[in-house]
């Protein structure tokens, strides 16, 4: 794990800002090096953040049973209820004491943090489709700046500015302002910056401002996941000053920071990228990046051989890069399905899925971030994406009329990979296996125009609750069933918080779905009242999850304590516990002015991966599934019908 801490670079950078005030350092220099100059240091609030609470065992059991109720027939539910009550009054108490003792000995972090890292790193499934999500940037509204060379250069410069700002503690901390007029201003920033961290948090709290955990942010840069047998490693390289670039399956590296950690001129980055794009080398016949698509134990074994075959230096160069760039020759245009297919998996020949994140830029300038998930969650990646998109768009350093040199760049190092016959055979086999998996993935989307947040607000219902309700109705229309559904919720309000699960399939959504899909529908006022009840319950679940009061992570931790201490218990042996964790519908919402779309693969073979957004006057959902197990177009059709019916009810007088 890598957690944010003060560094010599931070002290150096704040000293530079003081020199600017005295006119001893150029403002232009500082403006180029830093994307922000926050008065409050980035990690200022960290020591004052509250710790993630361990919920009461009784409440967790009640919430767990409430989530199981709509999924089970009466007989199964009665059995599960008996097991849960026995657990609550017996071994559950013992595990709760052990968990609290574990938590008490690790007050520097949260009770879920180490266990969650361990969960991800022990997973043996391949990273693409199973783990790595994508965030797709909006195009620049100035078409000429979407040129692949121009856009990549500007995005790299903005990424480096973000990196330097983060490392220098000049990035504005994440703060949720409940009353922005009261706290999102210079006076608040000045006072908070002068107070000691714990008092600063209290001051923010009393001003209805809630600082969020920033500990995951450093893992964005200089970090990679190394495959090992049984459990991978996360490795950071704090002295790194270079980036790696993939093009036609080949790897290149060049330095982007000077000895004193200054960002090199944008024109030099442009020249280096132009040199790579003009390299006349043929596409790699045996692209080593495809190996990162393999099952983790298999990849660990092959990587060991790869290093022993004269590639240790090359691998270290890739691993230690600040971040990774993939330059593609494909042109997905503005088709969400093509975009998702290219950036979520592609053909694997021009990818390195192990890196903390890769910035992928297509031939037509369409850009996405594909990120490895073990090191952190979407909060840090989304902030990075938003800041870099805004900065590269509003303050581009390279323009269509920027001149490049015609001479070959001597600062670019192509990483030639040495392969024996066995390694070549492994690559060939990985290509075949990966293609079969990707060919089986289907991507579909729907955009529902004319209705959205505005309609929900007028009817005093939560837009997110309505979207989730649509998923329940649609799935039931298609299959006649109710299944475990997952919605991610961040617990970044707490020190080293990760995520909590919201379970949107409730007894209320089930009742409404059955009513709406029945032949004898209740009256419209009655159906509208049922929607409002669904919304009320959904809002409560969101609040509980955000405040660390969900049941999923608590039960996960109790189960881990039992396994560590050899304590057997009935609740986790109950098939219904595994059943509720089998997320047939895995969902995540994404609303950002920087983002065109987001996507991820299904988390189970017969499931759907669903990224969605609801705007003021339209809503949209992008759905992934495996063709051999489920029918994506039919599900999209059922979703459209569901939203038509739900919004017809909301809009009725």
Evaluate whether residue 476 is within a structural domain: yes
Confidence band for 1, pLDDT divided at 50, 70 and 90: very low
Conformation bin of residue 176: beta by default, left when phi > 0, alpha when psi is -120 to 50? beta
pLDDT at 2 over 50: no
What is the pLDDT of the chain when averaged over all its residues? 94
> 417-463 pLDDT, tens per residue?
999 999 999 999 999 999 999 999 999 999 988 888 988 999 999 99
User: Which one of 397, 415, 440 terminates a domain?
Assistant: 440
User: Which one of 414, 440, 466 terminates a domain?
Assistant: 440
Rounded Cα–Cα distance for residues 145 and 381 (Å): 23
Q: Is 500 helix (H, G, I), strand (E, B) or coil?
A: strand
Evaluate whether residue 591 is within a structural domain: yes
> 255-303 pLDDT, tens per residue?
999 999 999 999 999 999 999 999 999 999 999 999 999 999 999 999 9
Which of the two residues, 1 and 319, has the higher pLDDT score? 319
User: Which one of 440, 475, 498 terminates a domain?
Assistant: 440
Position of tokens 């020199």?
Answer: 19
**CATH number of the structural domain spanning residue 493:** 3.30.559.10
Rounded Cα–Cα distance for residues 92 and 448 (Å): 46
Written as one string, the DSSP assignment of 434-487 is: HHHHHHHEEEEEEEEET-SHHHHHHTT--HHHHHHHHHHHHHHHHHS----EEE
Distance of CA 443 to the CA centre of its chain: 19
Q: Based on the domain organization, do 318 and 371 belong to the same domain?
A: yes
Q: Based on the domain organization, do 288 and 391 belong to the same domain?
A: yes
Q: Based on the domain organization, do 480 and 384 belong to the same domain?
A: no
Q: Based on the domain organization, do 419 and 520 belong to the same domain?
A: no
pLDDT of residue 20: 56
Evaluate whether residue 38 is within a structural domain: no
Question: Is 475 within 8 Å of 585 (Cβ atoms)?
Answer: yes
Where in the sequence is the domain holding 265, given as residue range(s)?
Answer: 131-167+228-440
Taken in order 434, 435, 436, 439, is the CA torsion positive or negative?
positive
Report the pLDDT averaged over residues 612-641.
95
pLDDT of residue 452: 85
Rounded Cα–Cα distance for residues 601 and 353 (Å): 14
**CATH number of the structural domain spanning residue 277:** 3.30.559.70
C-alpha angle 242-345-347 in degrees, rounded to nearest 5: 90
Taken in order 194, 198, 200, 202, is the CA torsion positive or negative?
negative
pLDDT at 410 over 90: no
Report the pLDDT averaged over residues 147-157.
98
pLDDT of residue 403: 86
Confidence band for 6, pLDDT divided at 50, 70 and 90: very low
pLDDT of residue 168: 96
pLDDT at 200 over 80: yes
Report the pLDDT averaged over residues 599-623.
94
> 524-553 pLDDT, tens per residue?
999 999 999 999 999 999 999 999 999 999
Confidence band for 19, pLDDT divided at 50, 70 and 90: low
Evaluate whether residue 326 is within a structural domain: yes
Q: Based on the domain organization, do 244 and 301 belong to the same domain?
A: yes
Q: Based on the domain organization, do 492 and 344 belong to the same domain?
A: no
Report the pLDDT averaged over residues 401-415.
81
Q: Is 358 helix (H, G, I), strand (E, B) or coil?
A: strand
Evaluate whether residue 154 is within a structural domain: yes
Concerning whether 418 is annotated as a catalytic residue, the answer is no
Q: Based on the domain organization, do 282 and 233 belong to the same domain?
A: yes
What percent of the chain is predicted at pLDDT more than 90? 90
Confidence band for 568, pLDDT divided at 50, 70 and 90: confident
Tell me how many domains the chain contains: 2
Position of tokens 């692949």?
Answer: 148
pLDDT at 25 over 70: no
User: 210: which DSSP letter?
Assistant: E
Evaluate whether residue 445 is within a structural domain: no
Q: Based on the domain organization, do 368 and 298 belong to the same domain?
A: yes
Q: Based on the domain organization, do 279 and 411 belong to the same domain?
A: yes
Q: Based on the domain organization, do 461 and 598 belong to the same domain?
A: yes
Evaluate whether residue 117 is within a structural domain: no
Q: Based on the domain organization, do 427 and 479 belong to the same domain?
A: no
Evaluate whether residue 629 is within a structural domain: yes
CA distances from 222 to 160, 225, 359, 378 (A): 12, 11, 14, 18
Rounded Cα–Cα distance for residues 426 and 423 (Å): 5
Q: Based on the domain organization, do 267 and 332 belong to the same domain?
A: yes
pLDDT at 325 over 60: yes
Check 44, 250, 324, 373 and give the catalytic one: 373
Report the pLDDT averaged over residues 180-192.
96
């Amino acid at each position: 794990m890598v957690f944010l801490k003060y560094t010599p670079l931070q002290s150096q950078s704040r000293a530079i800002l003081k020199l600017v005030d005295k006119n001893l350092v150029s403002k232009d220099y500082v403006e180029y090096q830093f994307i922000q100059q926050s008065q409050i240091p980035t990690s200022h609030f960290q020591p004052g953040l509250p710790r993630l609470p361990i919920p009461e065992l009784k409440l967790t059991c009640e919430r767990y049973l409430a989530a199981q109720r709509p999924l089970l027939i009466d007989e199964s539910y009665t059995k599960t209820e008996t097991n849960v009550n026995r657990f609550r009054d017996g071994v559950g108490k013992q595990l709760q004491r052990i968990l609290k003792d574990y938590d008490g000995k690790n007050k520097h972090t949260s009770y879920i943090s180490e266990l969650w890292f361990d969960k991800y790193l022990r997973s043996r499934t391949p990273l693409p489709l199973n783990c790595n999500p994508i965030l797709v940037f909006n195009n620049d509204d100035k078409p000429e700046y979407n040129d692949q060379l121009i856009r990549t250069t500007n995005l790299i410069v903005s990424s480096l500015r973000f990196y330097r700002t983060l490392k220098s503690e000049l990035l504005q901390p994440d703060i949720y302002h409940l009353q922005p007029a009261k706290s999102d201003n210079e006076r608040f920033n000045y006072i908070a910056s002068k107070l000691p961290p714990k008092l600063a948090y209290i001051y923010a709290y009393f001003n209805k401002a809630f600082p969020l955990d920033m500990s995951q942010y450093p893992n964005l840069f200089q970090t990679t996941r190394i495959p090992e047998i049984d459990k991978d490693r996360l490795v950071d390289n704090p002295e790194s000053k270079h980036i790696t670039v993939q093009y036609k399956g080949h790897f290149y590296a060049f330095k982007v920071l000077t000895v004193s950690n200054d960002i090199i001129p944008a024109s030099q980055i442009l020249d280096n990228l132009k040199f790579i794009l003009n390299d006349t080398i043929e596409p790699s016949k045996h692209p080593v990046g495809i190996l990162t698509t393999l099952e983790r134990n298999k990849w660990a074994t092959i990587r060991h051989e790869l290093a022993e075959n004269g590639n240790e230096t090359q691998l270290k160069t890739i691993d230690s890069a600040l971040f990774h760039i993939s330059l593609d020759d494909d042109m997905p245009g503005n088709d969400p399905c093509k975009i998702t297919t290219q950036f979520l998996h592609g053909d694997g020949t021009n990818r390195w899925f192990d890196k903390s994140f890769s910035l992928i830029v297509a031939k037509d300038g369409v850009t996405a971030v594909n990120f490895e998930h073990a090191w952190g969650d979407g909060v840090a990646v989304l902030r990075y994406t938003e800041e870099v998109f805004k900065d590269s768009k509003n303050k581009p350093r390279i323009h269509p009329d920027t001149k490049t040199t015609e001479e070959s760049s001597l600062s670019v190092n192509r990483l030639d990979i040495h392969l024996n016959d066995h390694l070549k055979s492994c690559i060939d086999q990985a290509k075949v296996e990966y293609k079969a998996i990707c060919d089986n993935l289907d991507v579909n989307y729907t955009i529902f125009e004319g209705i959205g947040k505005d309609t929900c607000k007028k009817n005093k219902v939560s837009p997110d609750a309505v979207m989730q309700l649509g998923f329940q109705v649609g799935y039931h229309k298609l299959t006649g069933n109710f299944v475990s559904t997952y919605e991610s919720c961040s617990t970044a309000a707490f020190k080293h918080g990760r995520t909590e699960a919201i379970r949107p399939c409730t007894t209320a959504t089930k009742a409404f779905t059955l009513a709406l899909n029945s032949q004898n529908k209740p009256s419209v006022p009655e159906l509208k009242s049922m929607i409002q009840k669904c919304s009320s319950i959904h809002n409560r679940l969101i609040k509980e999850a955000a405040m660390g009061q969900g049941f999923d992570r608590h039960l996960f931790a109790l189960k881990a304590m039992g396994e560590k201490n050899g304590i057997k218990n009935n609740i986790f042996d109950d098939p219904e516990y595994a059943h509720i964790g089998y997320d047939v519908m895995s969902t995540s919402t994404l609303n950002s002015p920087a983002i065109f779309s987001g996507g991820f693969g299904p988390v189970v073979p017969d499931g759907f991966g669903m990224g969605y957004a609801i705007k003021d006057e339209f809503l949209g959902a992008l759905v992934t599934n495996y063709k051999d197990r489920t029918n994506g177009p039919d599900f999209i059709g059922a979703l459209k019908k569901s939203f038509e019916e739900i919004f017809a009810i909301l809009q009725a007088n």
